[in-house]
Amino acid sequence: MTINTPLDRKDKKDKNEKMLFLYKFFRAPKQIGSVTPSSRFLARKMVEAVPWPEIRYTAELGAGTGAITKFIHNARNHPGKFILFERDALLRGRLSQMYPDYTCYPDATQITNALQSEGIPHLDCILSGLPFFNFEQSVRDKLLEQILLSLRPGGWFVAFQYSFQMKKQLKEHFNIESINFVPYNIPPAFVYVCRKEQLSDLF
């Protein structure tokens, strides 16, 4: 008789998650952006950048298989709303099963509409795993417009990318607090920690 330990079940789940992610990458590489889910090192680096006691309303863009979602879920230590965005229908369905208390939307270019539906006045923090490098410039512009419209003044935008390609455009719209390199990820990634300008910054 074979006995599956919790560690065995976790390894099997991780393997299945990676296989699903790889399958989705080959089906839509521009949408997925990577051949494997984000590592725990990348997830931790993103989550530790956020001052969670100050955060009530949160969104994650490009939640995928939930590799970063679970770290955000564990870091949020007080009531508030957390909404997810994932274009792929299968991954979105899995996220809804894993996190039934969170609403998952298909289109990150419609953040403000989602906030209206949820009765959320603004977002305090947005974490993103979207592969901006793969998108047309018009899509990047639309995403950043929605992010800026939905974030409160002084709100946080934390995003990982695989290059410095987005640095110039992010700098045009945010104060970049730091850019952190995460070598233990496939591929290695940069975590951009950005803040929307506060009203006091404008005077």
Per the domain annotation, does 23 fall within a domain?
no
List own/partner pairs for 137-140 with CB under 8 A and 24 or more apart: 139/109, 140/166, 140/169
Which domain covers residue 197, as residue numbers?
38-202
pLDDT tens digits, one per residue of 127-162: 999 999 899 999 999 999 999 999 999 999 999 999
Backbone angles phi, psi at 178, to 5 degrees: -165, 160
pLDDT at 199: 62
List the CATH number of the domain containing 177: 3.40.50.150
Task: With beta carbons less than 8 A apart as the criterion, state whether 32 and 169 touch.
Answer: no
Per the domain annotation, does 6 fall within a domain?
no
- Which pair of tokens denotes residue 54? 């100050």
Question: What pTM does this model have?
Answer: 0.82
Residues whose CB is less than 8 angstroms from the CB of residue 22 and which lie 6 or more positions away in sequence, other chains included = 35, 36
Total domains in the fold of the chain: 1
Per the domain annotation, does 88 fall within a domain?
yes
